[in-house]
Structure 1
Amino acid sequence: MTLSVPSARAVDLRLEPVDDVLSRVERSLQVRIDRDTVIRKRRSVGGRTDRNTWVRTERRSFERVETQGSNGPETAAVLRGVAMPRWQTGLTWRDENEPVMWRADETELVNEPPVGQAALVIEDPRLPDTWWAGLDALAAQHTPRVATPDTQSMTQELVDLTIRQVFPEVPDLTADEWTPAHADLTWANVLGPELCIIDWEDWGMAPRGLDAATLWGNALAVPALADRVWAERRPDLESRSGRLMALFFCAKIMGPYAHESDPRLEPARKQAARLVT
């Protein structure tokens, strides 16, 4: 008999109390986290420590742990030539009350700011040429991990379901190239003007072009930047799998949870029409 993994309640750590979680991390790692520096996101909370490092703590359901584990930042530490904070140590514990695992990772403190304060950008950050060149290193790596964009395991089935619910007329959605991807390469997870990529919990194998499509799609409200992303990442985005990933991202913007106030929505509709054609 196969036992199902219990489901955890949906939680937004921007709204939930996290003092007890941070206190536990401090005791276990023997650090003090400066509460004035704490950044809270939907699935994680991080802050600067008294030994000049950064500690990021993530809440992950048993369902996600079963499919991918909970040690993304630790496994990413072995990647070669990829611009990221140097990983130092980690801590994992099981929640006493919910089917949830907590994971804290202590890394090098990086002083470069995020390119965007949220997933998308509303103005051109005018990044230098060297910044774009640094994005090539990840795809040359190897991993058995499966990427989990938006917490969903990246499979051919997910590609089919996501695109077909918006663009049922596309006949063949087979992604023919798969490469390692960060899988959450939003403008909030890339730093600049010197490139550094943070938040590695979702990385793994995905169709070629997923990361490029994520940067491009989250730049659609700034046409000049979206054009720059496409030009810089053209080999990825103009591959068969890359065009599918661009359409995959447009489908997410235009799908069941679309918001008319989303500044990416109208540009996504226009780009999707081009991609479908």
Structure 2
Amino acid sequence: MDAADIERAVEQRRIWLDEQLVVAASALDVHVIGQPVNTFDMRSAGAVARGERGDVWLRVVVQDADYEPVCRWDGNVEANSIRGVAKPEVLRWHDWQHDHAYLRGRRLRGEVMTLAPGTTIAPGGVLHEDPQLSEAWWKDLRRSLVALAAHPLEPDNELGAVASTISSVEHHFGIKLPESVFADVQWTTAHGDLHWGNLWQPTLCILDWESWRPMFAGYDLATLYCNSLLHPETAQRIRDMPELHTRSGALALLSAISRYLWIAGEGSDWDLLEPHLRTEGEAVLSSLTTETD
């Protein structure tokens, strides 16, 4: 498939997703009033919509086995149980199966959510410049992440985090970590995909709750730190947070670094992070090696 074929396929998918937003709007008794926004992988689309009680966010997502189990079909809805976190609430939803030629048989879900005020901080996920966030915003982020970490852990939903971190570190850094390194790791509930595209300003709101699950304590700050490395002042502010100065925090950093190294080189903003991620990963590995000597 050449570049022109890819461009045509992406455009076909975009048009189709826009059509599915209309289907979802009809089923959920709202009408789209905003310009549709697609995720980079073209798996979902969303737009501002209007209903009887005012403006909301309408989202439609296509079920794709390649994203499971990390992206949970019921993740956004089940996240309604989380308290004390600045996040949208899913008000209602509707599932259906697509029965026309394009992607026939695919399951879709439409969700109506409370509308987050403001705008995303960095649409591509990676921070390139000073976000100029207020101290109140940073305090709200701290409060939200503490509340999230305190949410009861879901059993048997760790998705092989230890094994995947070990294999990823070996692949990217040539070092085989023993499982014993993770013996005393602390687990907490994590958002799982905290980058600057999922954070809103000027009032904090954390979006995209498909991937929340148990993870090494500090993992959300670790992913946000990775996505801040092109703006050293913001990166340092996050790096100085206490969760990243624990053994679990170090392992969370290593896991997040390895994760982003897998997608570096695929033509996104994450490509720019690769040299910084390698430097950070080597430093964390050095500190862990020192501890175990």
Aligned to 1:140: 150
Name the CA distance, whole Å, in 2 between partners of 1:146 and 1:127.
Answer: 37
Deviations 1:253-272 (A, max 9, x none): 44585469832222222222
Name the CA distance, whole Å, in 2 between partners of 1:224 and 1:258.
Answer: 25
Aligned to 2:235: 226
* Partner of residue 79 from structure 2, selected from 76, 80, 86: 76
Q: Is structure 2 residue 199 aligned with structure 1 residue 197?
A: no
Name the CA distance, whole Å, in 2 between partners of 1:90 and 1:227.
Answer: 40
User: Residue 109 of structure 1: CA displacement?
Assistant: 1.2
Aligned to 1:174: 182
User: Residue 20 of structure 1: CA displacement?
Assistant: 2.6
User: Residue 208 of structure 1: CA displacement?
Assistant: 1.4
Aligned to 2:278: 269
User: Residue 116 of structure 1: CA displacement?
Assistant: 1.1
User: Residue 128 of structure 1: CA displacement?
Assistant: 2.4
Which is higher, the Rg of structure 1 or of structure 2?
A: 2
TM-score of the superposed pair, with normalisation by structure 1: 0.83
Relative distance call for 1:101 and 1:144 in structure 2 (3 A) is farther
Deviations 1:33-78 (A, max 9, x none): 12x4211112221001122111111122246567875111111111
Relative distance call for 1:182 and 1:145 in structure 2 (3 A) is farther
User: Residue 101 of structure 1: CA displacement?
Assistant: 2.5
Aligned to 1:26: 25
Aligned to 1:40: 38
Relative distance call for 1:14 and 1:218 in structure 2 (3 A) is farther
For these two proteins, the number of residue pairs brought into alignment is 260
User: Residue 186 of structure 1: CA displacement?
Assistant: 0.9
Q: Is the 8 A contact 1:68 1:146 kept in 2?
A: no
Name the CA distance, whole Å, in 1 between partners of 2:220 and 2:104.
Answer: 32
Aligned ranges for residues 1-277 of structure 1 at < 5 Å?
Answer: 15-17=13-15, 18-34=17-33, 36-41=34-39, 42=41, 43-51=43-51, 52-62=55-65, 69-96=72-99, 97-98=103-104, 100-132=106-138, 133-134=142-143, 135-144=145-154, 153-169=159-175, 171-172=177-178, 173-174=181-182, 176-231=185-240, 234-255=241-262, 257-258=264-265, 262-277=271-286
For structure 1, the residue ranges without an aligned partner over 5 or more in a row are: 1-10
- Percent pairwise identity: 26
CA-based RMSD of the aligned residues comes to: 2.8
Q: Is the 8 A contact 2:45 2:60 kept in 1?
A: yes
Letter in 2 for 1:20: E
Relative distance call for 1:143 and 1:160 in structure 2 (3 A) is same
Relative distance call for 1:199 and 1:12 in structure 2 (3 A) is farther
Relative distance call for 1:95 and 1:84 in structure 2 (3 A) is same
Name the CA distance, whole Å, in 1 between partners of 2:156 and 2:124.
Answer: 25
TM-score of the superposed pair, with normalisation by structure 2: 0.79
Q: Any idea what SS the aligned residue of 2:88 has?
A: coil
Relative distance call for 1:112 and 1:40 in structure 2 (3 A) is same
Letter in 2 for 1:268: L
Relative distance call for 1:202 and 1:54 in structure 2 (3 A) is same
Q: Is the 8 A contact 2:127 2:196 kept in 1?
A: yes
Q: Is the 8 A contact 2:199 2:205 kept in 1?
A: yes
Letter in 2 for 1:212: L
Could you tell which deviates more after superposition, 39-48 or 261-270?
261-270
Q: Is the 8 A contact 1:145 1:204 kept in 2?
A: no
Deviations 1:86-145 (A, max 9, x none): 321111223435564212211111222111121101001132233232332110101427
Q: Is the 8 A contact 1:131 1:195 kept in 2?
A: yes
Name the CA distance, whole Å, in 2 between partners of 1:224 and 1:66.
Answer: 35
Could you tell which deviates more after superposition, 213-222 or 92-101?
92-101
